[in-house]
Structure formats: C-alpha cells, structure tokens
C-alpha cells in the first residue's frame, strides 16, 4: 500500500504540473510567431516521439553528466539526484506534450459563434481566452484528457526502473522476498485496475459538470416566455 500511495503521488503531481505547462505550450503552438510555434512544436515532437522510459533515463542518469547541475547545492542533492523527483520531472515533461496537443485542437474547435459573442460584448483577447476559450477547450478535451491520465497511471510503472518504490517497485521487492510472482503481479494488476476505475469515475463527474449541456435530455419549455417557445424547440425536447 505504500507503493500505491507513491504511485498516486507521481500521477497527481505530474498530472497537475503537466496540465499547467501544457496551457502555455498550446498557446505557443497556435501563435503566429514562427519562433514560438516552432519551439513548441519541437518540444511536443520530441516528447511524443521518444519512449517514456528513455526520457526517464535521460533525466535520472543524464542530468548527472553536467557538472554545473551537480554544483547547485540542495537543488541537486534534494531534488535532481532523487529518483522520486526525477520521475515526476520526466512524467511532467511527457504528459505536458500530449495535453498541449489536446488543448491546441480544442482551442481551434471552439465554435466561432462563441468567439463572436465575446467580441460583441467588448472582451479583450485576454478576457476571451480567460473566460471563454480556455474553459470551453477544457470541457472539449476532458474525455481525451481522462485517457491521458489513465495512460500516465499505467506508465508510472516504469518509475521502478530507477529504484523508486512505487506500486510496481514494491511488487518486485515482495516477489524477491517470497518468490510468489503470480500472486503479487495479479495483486498489482488489481490495484492498478482499482485506481483506473476511480480515475474514470472522477472524470465522468467532471464531464457532467463542464459538459452539462450534452447531458440535458429533459428540458422544460413550459416556463419559457411565449415568444421563446416554438414548435421546433418543443419537438426537439420531446
């Protein structure tokens, strides 16, 4: 169960950090400046095109090759040289690339009518993104974002390769002591399945909150003003 807690910490912390990093990456990706979108494209291309295991090794083993990093004092001894934080850094960089592409597509999929309505209200471009575009895009990406978090949960098993005692690391340690490989691997699989089910349920609740208009099957039109009721609306509700 200690391994389960470490796995949840890895997924939650890297998921939050990756989400926050993905927003500016997505905005850079749709920017008109070639320098911005090419930089974001190169970042996304690299982390989507290389295996997560390679990225974990690059962070954990590769950073130690730079003497300037080894001379950072507590930042090196307490953060960059620790497998826990190296795993979080690698997972954050990896998932931010995928989420940034989801956000890019969602921002471009925001209905033009909503942008025109925001412009008609006199909103500045910053207000449009803050109050209309980004909240709308978040609702659009929720199903795909849930899948990305689940994939990250399963990919977190790779953290055991850098001596981190997450769920898979604890499982391998138990197997080394007891030689009960089938029993403990089956137990680990069931625990991953349980965590996946909890994540699916959490994202279903988020979808019902942010995409409530897609689940409104029964609409009351009797309380509307008579001028707003028409035959087409009543037939659609029926």
- What are 108-158's pLDDT values in tens digits? 888 888 888 988 888 888 899 888 898 888 888 988 999 999 999 999 999
Distance of CA 238 to the CA centre of its chain: 38
Question: What is the residue-averaged pLDDT of the chain?
Answer: 87
Q: What residue ranges define each of the domains in the chain, with the CATH number in brackets?
A: 2-237 (1.10.3720.10)
- Residues 7 and 164: their CA atoms lie apart, in Å, by 10
What predicted TM-score, i.e. pTM, was given to this entire model? 0.83
Angle CA 60–62–68, to nearest 5: 105
Count of all residues that appear for the chain in the document: 238
Please report the sign of the dihedral spanned by the C-alpha atoms of residue 30, residue 36, residue 41, residue 43: negative
Q: Which two tokens stand for residue 108?
A: 């471009």
Mark residue 67 as left, alpha or beta (left: phi above 0; alpha: psi -120 to 50; beta: remaining): alpha
**Cα-atom radius of gyration of the chain, to the nearest Å?**
23
The residue whose two tokens read 């001894």 is 77
pLDDT of residue 206: 86
Query: Are 156 and 11 within 8 A, CB to CB?
Result: yes
Angle CA 16–22–27, to nearest 5: 145
Query: Are 212 and 142 within 8 A, CB to CB?
Result: no
pLDDT of residue 221: 56
> What's the half-sphere exposure (Cβ side, CA atoms, 13 Å) at 207?
16
Neighbours of 176 (CB within 10 A): 10
Render pLDDT for 28-57 as a digit per residue (tens, 0 to 9): 999 888 989 999 999 999 999 999 999 999
pLDDT of residue 24: 94
pLDDT of residue 73: 81
């Amino acid at each position: 169960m200690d391994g389960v807690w470490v796995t949840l910490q890895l997924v939650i912390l890297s998921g939050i950090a990756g989400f926050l990093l993905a927003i500016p990456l997505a905005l850079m990706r749709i920017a008109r400046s070639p320098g911005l979108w090419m930089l974001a494209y190169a970042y996304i291309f690299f982390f989507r095109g290389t295996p997560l295991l390679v990225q974990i090794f690059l962070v954990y083993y590769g950073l130690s090759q730079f003497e300037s990093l080894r001379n950072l004092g507590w930042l090196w001894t307490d953060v960059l040289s620790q497998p826990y934080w190296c795993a979080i850094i690698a997972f954050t960089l990896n998932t931010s690339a995928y989420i940034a592409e989801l956000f890019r597509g969602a921002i471009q999929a925001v209905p033009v009518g909503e942008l025109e309505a925001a412009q008609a209200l006199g909103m500045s471009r910053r207000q449009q993104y803050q109050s209309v575009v980004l909240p709308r895009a978040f609702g659009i990406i929720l199903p795909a974002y849930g899948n990305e978090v689940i994939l990250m949960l399963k990919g977190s098993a790779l953290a055991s390769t850098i001596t981190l005692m997450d769920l898979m690391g604890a499982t391998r340690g138990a197997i080394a002591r007891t030689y009960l490989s089938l029993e403990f691997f089956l137990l680990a699989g069931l625990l991953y399945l349980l965590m996946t089910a909890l994540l699916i349920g959490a994202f279903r609740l988020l979808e019902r909150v942010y995409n409530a208009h897609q689940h409104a099957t029964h609409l009351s039109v009797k309380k509307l003003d008579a001028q707003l009721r028409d035959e087409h609306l009543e037939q659609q509700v029926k």
